[in-house]
Every structure is written in structure tokens, then in C-alpha cells.
Structure 1
Amino acid sequence: MSEQFNQRRDKRKISSWFLYGTLAIGLASAFTALFNNTVRSSNPPELDIYSPGAEHGICQQVPKLSPRNKQVEQYVREKVESVEYHGEIINKLSGIIRIPSESYDDLGPIGEDDRWNIFFQVEDYIKTCYPTVFDNVKLDHANTHGLILTWEGSVPPSEAKPILMLAHQDVVPVLEENVKDWTHPPYDGHYDGEIIWGRGATDDKGYLISIIESLDLLIQSGFKPKRTVILAFGCDEEISGENCGRPISDFLHEEYGDDGIYLIMDEGSTGIQREFGQSFAMVSVAEKGYLDVGINVSSTGGHASNPPDHNVIGILSEIVVAIESNPFPGKVTPKNPMFRFLECGAVHAPQSSFPQAVRQKLSLVAEEDSASQEQLAQTLNDMRYFFKTSQSVGKINGGVKINAIPETASTMVNLRLAVETSIAEVEAHYESLAIPIARKHGMAFAGFHSPCSTAEKRKICMFGVDALEPAPVSPVDAEPYRILSGTVKNVLKSLGPDDDLIVTPYLMPANTDTKFFWALTKNIYRFTPVNLVENLNRAHTTDEFIRADEFVREPLFFATLILNTDDIVG
């Protein structure tokens, strides 16, 4: 196995959010094209359960949920709506953006690599901004820089499970050569009267400031929680979360045990968007899986004047061609939260705006008709990676000198696993492609669960790195989701002049720190309560920003969610 692949893989510091933004933006164009190109029969189809006006229980919406404590709610609302408050919270976000808490792929252990020390500045900053919060919470550290703030309720966690809200302190690095392309320097935290600019404005310092601000507002109002509220801030979400995300999860699991948390909130995917002429609050209830596949091909070397018919580079190329020629099939199934989103669009969007080609397939998909599931995925080809496993050959290495026959060649393939699949299925598929090539060239083969020994000189090896199964799909018929939905309805506004805001399940193709928290609760929801526009507000790329008029209202959402979850405690 080459030294390159003995090292940890490059973490997805840019690709995940950028890919997701591209997919989300493609959503509108996909359905627009479908609608414009769909030939409608002169005779309308027979009324089905997805037709407006039909009797159904699909994508039912809960009413607005207002806290019972009207005095506290009014205090928070009035504060959030004041111009003075707007200036205060915008300054807090600008200040934390000015701390370049970048996380790098090659960071050494915490305590040994001085680049981690920037997170001491982040901790000091939020302590300075929120002295009242830190006077009322218990602060614990997980692996030095993972911060856990616990606001203890009057009812024991054994009787009222805590609510947990996550955010991360780190940001993806800004390359020095790209600084000149920013409208405002990435770490100035510039506010132009409408927009707050800078790395982390959207991902994820705006979210972090909003959730801690919500505690500050509630404490100042005099509110005393019955249900314990926990905030947890990771330090390395952008490079997989092993240094802070996992230690935070381990700490909380030791404290509260399996299924010991009532509800987890974390950063979302598309937030509030308008599709099919309808406003949606898109709550991600699952994430795709993740797998990096390494492939090594080894053989004997020699002088280039006497080459074999196929050397390791050529053989590796055959494997790459086989992989790209045999992509994973796509299908839309009821297990995928995106199917729920399509249902919501079918029953709530204006009939003239929702593609008839999609509507006609939904009933058959719900009935597990395999052909219809595949056909609908083909119809939705522009958003295919919501419905299929993606694969991208991202690295290749081989040869050191032009006149020497290379002895090894290697590649890495990045995959994001569809909700319906598994790591084992992906491994079996890749092995089925490589084994015939190994036989063709008289080479030994070592699959994912076999040791890649050096005994054989001619050998093909496959192995997995950073394997993560698709996340469990969080329930949308459970009490926590209903409370979340009612809070959305109460606090947030539609984007259209005359439509309602529809809360819908959604899928997150990228991964967050929630991947470490599956044992703590089934109720994991990823949602950012703002309209994320222009490639998720350009997270991970040049000119990241957040609109101030939306950001200043985020704490109202989180404070209201805390109040609403507290109301159901006996």
C-alpha cells in the first residue's frame, strides 16, 4: 500500500457544501425544465391522492405553536425587533468572523500543533460577549476545544430529556491567492448595511452566535427552564469532527446514555426556499453515507525499453474506466426524505407549477413499483444525486520516471451513499468490477476485508477509508418534529406574497457532526432558519455572506423552540 494511502484522506473542506449548493440550485431548474417540457393530455388525468382537493393525509401541516409563557415570548420578540439589538448582534457576528479559526487537513494532535490555539481565542471571545450565559451554564471541555454549555433545568434529565443544539467554531481555510477575489476581506466581518460578509458568516458562526444568543435572551427575560438545554460547539467539523465532534458525543453519551436526548438541532442544508411557486422550510432528516475507496495496483518494474503489454498504470486505468462505466443506478423510494418533499410539492404547490410528469409517478413509487422508482429518478436527472450514490475519482498516483516501468499505481474514489444503500453493497459492486480485471492480467486480488500483503508482486488491492453508513432517517411523525414544525410556522415567514410556509422533510447529501450522535436520539434535525441563497450563501467559497435582516431573527427561532419544548414538560 503506497505511503499516500497510509495517510488520512483529504477531508472534504470545500466539496460537500459546494456540491450541495449546486444540487440545491439545480433543483429549481430541474423542475422548471420538467414543467416546460411535459406534454399535457387534453383530458386531465383521473384525480388521485396527490391532486389538490383530494382527500389525503399527505404532508399534513401543524398549526403555529406559540409558547405558553407570553411574557417571555414578548420580551424576546421585542428585543429581537429593536434596532439597537440588531447592531449588537451584528457586531458580535462580525467580531467572531474576525477570528480566523481555520481547520486544516494536516493538523496534528490538539496540544501538539500550535494551529489549534486559535480556538482559545474563540472561547475567550464568546465568554466576553456572553458573561450572563456563562454565569448560568456549566461549561465542560471535550478534548480542550470542544465546548459543552449545559443550562440545567428544574426537572431531572431522566424525566425530561434535554434538548441539544450543535454548531461548530471552525471554518474552511481561505487560500492566500484567493483573498483578492473577495469583495471584502474574508476576515474583516464587514457589514455594509444589508449583508455581513466573511468566512463563517453562514457556515457556521452565524448559527453559533444565534443559538448562544437565544440562551442569553431567555436568561435576561427571567425564564427558568424545566428541560435542560445543552449547546455544543465543535472545533473540527470541516475536517471530519474526530478531534471535537466525537469527543463531545462521547461526553454526552456517558452523561445521558442511549436515547437520552429529546431533540438535536444542527446546521441545515437549504433552509427556507421557494420551489414550484411555493415556500418551503426544508428540514433535513437524514444524510447520505460516505466512503473513500483506495485502489492500489502493484507489479514488477523494469526498464522502459522492455515494457509489458499492460503496466500498473494501464491496469489501474481499466479499473477506473470500469467504475465510471458502471455507475450506481438511481431510484426514488419512500425511504428517501426527498420523496416526502416531492409529495409536499404535489399537494401544496399550485397545480400549474408542479410537473405533471412527477405527479403521475408518485403513487406508483409509493406502492414500491420498481420500474416507476427508476423512471422517476431518470425524469429528475438534474437532481440525480439526491437519489443515487455518487462516485468521483479524485486522486491518482503512479510512476516516478519516464524511462522506468512503474511498480505501483493508486487512486482514490469518493462516494456519497444513497439513503437506500450500504457500505457493503458498494464494496461488493467495486469488487465485482475489479476481480475480472485482476484475472485477465493474472494478478492476485485483495478485497475490502482481506489483508493487502506484499507477498505477491502482481496484485490489486481495494480498501475503504472513513466509511460512514447513511444516517438513520429521523421521524417526521414524532412529537419533536411536530414541535419544530409548529415553531417554524410561528416564527418564520414565507418568501412569496400570498403563500403559506410549508415544512417539509429533506435530505442532506453532505455530513455534519450529527454523524456522531445517532445513539443519543432518533430525533436529529438539520435546519438553518434563514433563506440560504446563491449557493448556500456561498459557504466554502469566495464572498461568503449572510443577510443581516434574516440573521438577526434567528435567535427568536431558537428561543421559541426552547420555550415550546419546555412547555410539554409536566
Structure 2
Amino acid sequence: MLPIATIATEKGSPVHPELPTSHSDLEQARAIIRAKETKEHRKAICFGLAILLLLACYFFDNITPRPFTDPFSELPLDLDAFDDFGNDDDAICRQPAPRVPQQNQNITERNYDGLFRDPEWRKEAGERLAQSVRIDTQTFDHLRDIMPTPEGTPDIPERAGFDKFKEWIAKAYPLTHKHLKRELVNRYALLYTWEGKEDVKTAKPLVLCSHIDTVPVPASSLDQWVHPPFSGHFDGEYIWGRGSVDTKNTLVAIVEAVENLLAAGFKPKRTVILAFGFDEEISGYQGARFLSKKLLDRLGPGGVELLIDEGPGIGTEYGATFASIGISEKGYTDSTLTLSTAGGHSSIPPKHTNIGLMARIIANIEENVYTPELSDDNPFLLNLQCTAKYGPEMNPWLKKAIRNVDKVRPALVKYLARDVQTRYMMQTSQAVTMINGGVKLNALPEQTIASINQRIAMHSSVETVEHHLIGLLTHLSDPSRLALNFTSTNHLNVTKTHFETPDAVGALHYETFIPALQPAPVSPVDTPAWDLIAGTVRRVSARNWEVKEGKEEKEEEEEGIIVRPELMPANTDTRHYWDLTKNIFRYDPIRADKIFGIHTVNERIALSSFIESVAFFHEIVRNFQEVEF
């Protein structure tokens, strides 16, 4: 055997002068190494045990049930002594009885209990929705102020789909096309009138609204779609494609309901109007605004009894099923900030370039948010009260706080503001959504434009938002800060100079787009109109609309569906109909677990949810004829 040093050398390693060179030295070295290894092993074992102990403590601490703690414990109040929801709270979130049509029971048998349960008819109806999706009716922001050309003349290519849609709907629904008066409004909007036996002056009509247009599909997202966005793929369970959820589903459901009522021989006592815009996704200024004007000219202010448009739907929350109906909407403004500065070569930049200055302005705006408030006239409070009263799984302290809101309002607002989903029901939101500046890598930018979208809280106004931003920007324009000349143009198109300095490094202009929108009027929930829609929802949506071929499902599967008012943070075409009626309700008869991809990839709706929508509009038309307003 070669000495250890020789072995190391032959393996190509340098001989260390301290390496053992004899067997006795080797044994001694091995003993020393074993002792060191034993010590290190013990250290490792101890360290590992310590880690395991810490992990055990952590998991034990997190999985062991803890006593419930009051999130409002900082209040000098005893919530245990506060009132809870009880039998004496009938006035809070009153639930109208399910409303069943009493007349024309043959129509109930033929349609509601017949066709709408028939697998073959359901497939045909789903295919018609799919056909509507195959017609590309995207709309784009740059079209908002572009008027359509007169009927029969060439229009911009982006609107070609709307002419195709008009042709399709006339062929797909021949009875509707034959028996209802159809008017083309501003070329593409559709206005159908189903005249009743009674005069509209004494028996105000029902208006059912929807829109033909859809949001665009970005080219960058095409490879993410399971089925192409305008394929209208129908697999027997889901209808796929852009517009299947927002909101060709409601438009087609409305016309399906009318077509089948006509086929059953139904003749309305009170007039029913269908109003379909074509630019809701860009605020409805060419569609619903023109439809509203025509209806106002014909019926006069307050000339409509009830108007229903798209809105929230049905979902489960806190252990209960709620159907949410929008009774108001937050306000809306779009604002632009335009910053102009001197240009130059990028090799000799100022302390802050134009884009740098705009970045500081935007950061300051985002740091100065609006204050949340929960006023008594905010529909969100009604929504909370319904949810607390009927949601068995809601935190019991939260239930009591909502029930006794007048005593704990500041703490309740603070608690709810922790979650953005509830915060912006009480607070004006502001989002910088677009920015553009600079034209070349080595040139200093001379102009930057930023756009801000604001959704205005119920307790606020367009003027309040303008005052907030003007005050903030005036403060920033001071020479001790950014040194800018600052002007503004408000929503009334009034321009004003707020700050000027001879040492200005640039000029800042703030402008509110003229079609700024105040928060919507709140529709009442103590009227026959509310009882009509709420009672119809409770009847229709108690039924299980899942039907398997060859299998008859139990009719009433869901007990106690709760109807609750809702504040909508987004806006609909109803903004243009305020003068027609106080009874404006926003509701989509669709279920949250049966729709996917709204405004994004793989948009789709379950056939059962679409059929439920058909049934709702079918029954709302029938029930409307029987209510005394």
C-alpha cells in the first residue's frame, strides 16, 4: 500500500505538509475527524429539533381554534348589549312574495313548464345566442364621438358588424320582427314597441334594455382563448365568445322571451318596449342617448313605469343565496393632465424631465385618496343590512355593527374600508389608466399626457372631485415644489388659471371631460315596481334550471333566495334614461358560478344560466300586465 501522501499526489492533488504520512498518524487523524463529526452531528440534531419545535408551535398556534375576538373592541361600547336582527325588523330588507302570473296558464304550461325545460328547444336557444356571438360587434374608445352615417351609406369599417346584427335578429326572430314595431335609431340602435291594449298615457310602459356592442378583444390575447372569441362555440353546456356574458345573453334572452310569448298567442295589456343600444361600452352617447331622446319625445318625462337594464346577478355569500339588483350607480369622470416643458438633448437633462415631473404629480395624486363615508342614502347600506339579516355565516360582531350602524358608524366604515371590494362602495376611486410621453430615446420629452378615471361616491359629486384635484395640483405647482403654471377646464367647459410663476419650468393643464356624470338617482325599494321585479326574481330563480336530457329535475330546488338592493360601482346605459322613470333597476338573471371571463379571455355562459334569463324576462313581461301601479 502506498503512503497516503503518495495516493493524494497520484490523484493529482498537491501534498499538504500537514497530511499524515504513516498508518499511526492516519489512525490518530481519523479519531480526531470522528470526534469533530460527532460534535457537528450533535449540533445539527439540536438545530433540527429546535426548528421542528418552532414549526410545531407555529402550526399548533394556527390550527388551534381561538376564541372569537371583536374587531370593534377599541370602541367604548358593549356590542353584546346591542340589538341583533329579529322578528321586529320586517322593514329591513323586506322580501316580497314570489310572484306567479295568474292569467294565461296555458302559456305557463307551454313555455315556462314546457319549452324552457325541453332539451331540444334549449339547445336551439343556445345556438341562437351562439349565432349572435359570431357577429363581431366590438366597439372602441375612438368611436365615441363619431356619428354613424345615414342608413344605406358607407360607414367606418369598425361598425360593419352592427348592420349584420340587424339582419340576423330579423331572421332569427320572425314573429318579433312581424308583430313589434321596429325603429332604427341613429342607424344601429334598435327600438321595438309591442303595443298594449291600453294607452301609454294612462298605463305607462315597461322598457327592457340591453346593448349590441362588446368590449374589444386584444390581439395579444388571442392565443389564450380555448375557442376563438367570435367562434360562438357551443359545446352543449357553455356558449363561448365575446359578448356571451356582456351582454348579448340578456339581449337574446329578451327577444327569446318575446318570440315565445308571441308564439303562445300572448297579447299585452300594457305596452312593452325593447331598447338596444350599440355603444354602451363607450358610454352610450350614439346609442342609448338617442334612444332616450326618442322615448322622451314620445312619452314625456316620467312616461315609463319600469326600466330594466344589465346589472348584478345571483351569487352565494355568507351562507345565503342573494339576487342583487342595482338601484343606483356611482358617478363617473375622466380627466386628463397635460404637462408641457422645454425639450432638448437627453445628454444634458434638467433635474426632472417632463416624464419625471408627471411621475411626481401622479404619485402625489395617488397618495391623496378620498375619504370613505357610509351615508344613509347610500344603497350599499341597504345591501349590508340585507346581507347581515339573511347571511347566517356573517361575523356576528359585524352583524350587530350593521344593525346598530348609527352607534358605530366610524368604526364600521374603517372596518369595511380594509377590503377594496367594500371600500369603493363608500369612497371615490381614482385610477391613472393611461399615460403617453416622449418620442425618442435621446430627446427630452416636451409633453406628457396622463388620464385619470374616477368613480364618484354617492356622498360626493363631480364638482367635489374637481375641487380636490385642483387644490392638490395648485399646491404642487408652487415654486418650492414643482414650479408649474397651472390651468384647468372643468366639466362645464370653463377654463381658469390657478397658478402662475415667472420661474415656471413648465405648464400643467387639468381637464375634466364634458360628459362627466353625477351619482345616479336612487330608485325606491318600497314601490309596486320593486315588488314586481323582486317577486319575479324570487319565483324564477327558486327553480333549478339545470335540465339533463332524459331527466326531469325537481322544480323548486332552492328555498329562500334573497333579493337585495345594490350600488353599482360601474355605469350602464341607464345614465341616459334618468328622466324617463324613477324605477330604474339593473339586473342580470345570471349566476356567478355559471359565467366566466367577462371583459377578458374565455368569456362564456352556461346554457342553464341563459335559459334562466329567458324565463325571467318571459315572466316579468307577464307579471307587468297584472300589477296595479
**Smaller-chain TM-score range?**
0.7 to 0.9
Partner in structure 1 of residue 375 of structure 2 = 333
Could you tell me how far apart the structure 1 residues matched to 2:412 and 2:69 are?
20
Q: CA, structure 1 residues 83+63, in 2 after alignment: closer, same or farther (shift >3 Å)?
A: same
CA offset digits 1:456-503 (Å, max 9, x no partner): 984221111241112111111121111111111111127997641000
Partner in structure 2 of residue 29 of structure 1 = none
Could you tell me how far apart the structure 1 residues matched to 2:283 and 2:587 are?
19
Q: What SS is found at the alignment partner of 1:119?
A: helix
- How far apart are 1:365 and its partner, in Å? 3.0
Unaligned 5+ runs, structure 1: 1-34
Which of the numbers 66, 69, 90 marks the counterpart of 1:39? 69
Checking the alignment, whether the CA contact within 8 Å between 1:190 and 1:197 is kept in structure 2 is yes
State which drifts further: 328-337 or 204-213: 328-337
- How far apart are 1:324 and its partner, in Å? 0.9
Letter of the structure 1 residue corresponding to residue 537 of structure 2: V
Checking the alignment, whether the CA contact within 8 Å between 1:301 and 1:406 is kept in structure 2 is yes
Q: What SS is found at the alignment partner of 1:468?
A: coil
Checking the alignment, whether the CA contact within 8 Å between 1:67 and 1:567 is kept in structure 2 is yes
Q: What SS is found at the alignment partner of 1:125?
A: helix
Checking the alignment, whether the CA contact within 8 Å between 2:385 and 2:403 is kept in structure 1 is no
Q: CA, structure 1 residues 329+493, in 2 after alignment: closer, same or farther (shift >3 Å)?
A: same
Q: Tell me the TM-score normalised to structure 1 length.
A: 0.86
Partner in structure 2 of residue 400 of structure 1 = 439
Could you tell me how far apart the structure 2 residues matched to 1:249 and 1:296 are?
34
Could you tell me how far apart the structure 1 residues matched to 2:87 and 2:624 are?
33
Kindly report which structure 2 residues correspond to 1:44-83, keeping only aligned pairs within 5 A, or say none.
Answer: 45-46=79-80, 48-53=82-87, 55-69=89-103, 70-77=105-112, 78-83=114-119
Checking the alignment, whether the CA contact within 8 Å between 1:332 and 1:365 is kept in structure 2 is no
Which of the numbers 161, 164, 168 marks the counterpart of 1:121? 164
Checking the alignment, whether the CA contact within 8 Å between 1:50 and 1:343 is kept in structure 2 is no
Q: CA, structure 1 residues 372+44, in 2 after alignment: closer, same or farther (shift >3 Å)?
A: closer
Partner in structure 2 of residue 88 of structure 1 = 124
Q: Tell me the TM-score normalised to structure 2 length.
A: 0.79
Which of the numbers 397, 413, 437 marks the counterpart of 2:452? 413
Kindly report which structure 2 residues correspond to 1:428-443, keeping only aligned pairs within 5 A, or say none.
Answer: 428-440=467-479, 441-443=482-484
Which of the numbers 454, 466, 487 marks the counterpart of 1:446? 487
Q: What SS is found at the alignment partner of 1:189?
A: coil
Partner in structure 2 of residue 538 of structure 1 = 597
CA offset digits 1:54-105 (Å, max 9, x no partner): 5442111111111121233333212212223212211211111111122123
- How far apart are 1:45 and its partner, in Å? 4.6
Checking the alignment, whether the CA contact within 8 Å between 1:319 and 1:433 is kept in structure 2 is no
Q: What SS is found at the alignment partner of 2:472?
A: helix
Letter of the structure 2 residue corresponding to residue 233 of structure 1: F
Kindly report which structure 2 residues correspond to 1:350-429, keeping only aligned pairs within 5 A, or say none.
Answer: 350=392, 353-366=393-406, 371-372=410-411, 374-429=413-468
Partner in structure 2 of residue 508 of structure 1 = 568
- How far apart are 1:151 and its partner, in Å? 0.2
- How far apart are 1:452 and its partner, in Å? 7.1
Q: What SS is found at the alignment partner of 1:543?
A: coil
Checking the alignment, whether the CA contact within 8 Å between 2:528 and 2:627 is kept in structure 1 is no
State which drifts further: 482-491 or 456-465: 456-465
- How far apart are 1:380 and its partner, in Å? 4.3
Partner in structure 2 of residue 489 of structure 1 = 538
Give the total of aligned pairs: 530
Q: CA, structure 1 residues 115+310, in 2 after alignment: closer, same or farther (shift >3 Å)?
A: closer
Q: CA, structure 1 residues 182+360, in 2 after alignment: closer, same or farther (shift >3 Å)?
A: same
Partner in structure 2 of residue 20 of structure 1 = none
Partner in structure 1 of residue 210 of structure 2 = 167
Q: CA, structure 1 residues 275+204, in 2 after alignment: closer, same or farther (shift >3 Å)?
A: same
Which of the numbers 508, 514, 521 marks the counterpart of 1:460? 508
- How far apart are 1:384 and its partner, in Å? 1.7
Letter of the structure 1 residue corresponding to residue 276 of structure 2: F
Could you tell me how far apart the structure 2 residues matched to 1:213 and 1:472 are?
31
Letter of the structure 2 residue corresponding to residue 182 of structure 1: W
Which of the numbers 103, 106, 110 marks the counterpart of 2:148? 110
CA offset digits 1:359-406 (Å, max 9, x no partner): 232245346x65245324335455322221111112223333455443
State which drifts further: 232-241 or 438-447: 438-447
Checking the alignment, whether the CA contact within 8 Å between 2:311 and 2:586 is kept in structure 1 is yes
Letter of the structure 1 residue corresponding to residue 362 of structure 2: V
Kindly report which structure 2 residues correspond to 1:13-28, keeping only aligned pairs within 5 A, or say none.
Answer: none
CA offset digits 1:259-305 (Å, max 9, x no partner): 11111111122x11000000001111111211111112223344556
Q: What SS is found at the alignment partner of 1:124?
A: helix
Checking the alignment, whether the CA contact within 8 Å between 1:278 and 1:499 is kept in structure 2 is no
Which of the numbers 247, 250, 264 marks the counterpart of 1:204? 247
Partner in structure 2 of residue 517 of structure 1 = 577
Checking the alignment, whether the CA contact within 8 Å between 1:151 and 1:228 is kept in structure 2 is yes
Alpha-carbon RMSD across the aligned residues, in angstroms, is 2.7
- How far apart are 1:161 and its partner, in Å? 0.7
Q: What SS is found at the alignment partner of 1:467?
A: coil
Structure number with greater Rg is: 2
Could you tell me how far apart the structure 2 residues matched to 1:560 and 1:47 are?
45
Unaligned 5+ runs, structure 2: 1-64, 150-154, 545-555
CA offset digits 1:443-465 (Å, max 9, x no partner): 33213345379x99842211112
Q: Which has the higher contact order (CA 8 A, sep 6+)?
A: 1
Q: CA, structure 1 residues 442+203, in 2 after alignment: closer, same or farther (shift >3 Å)?
A: closer
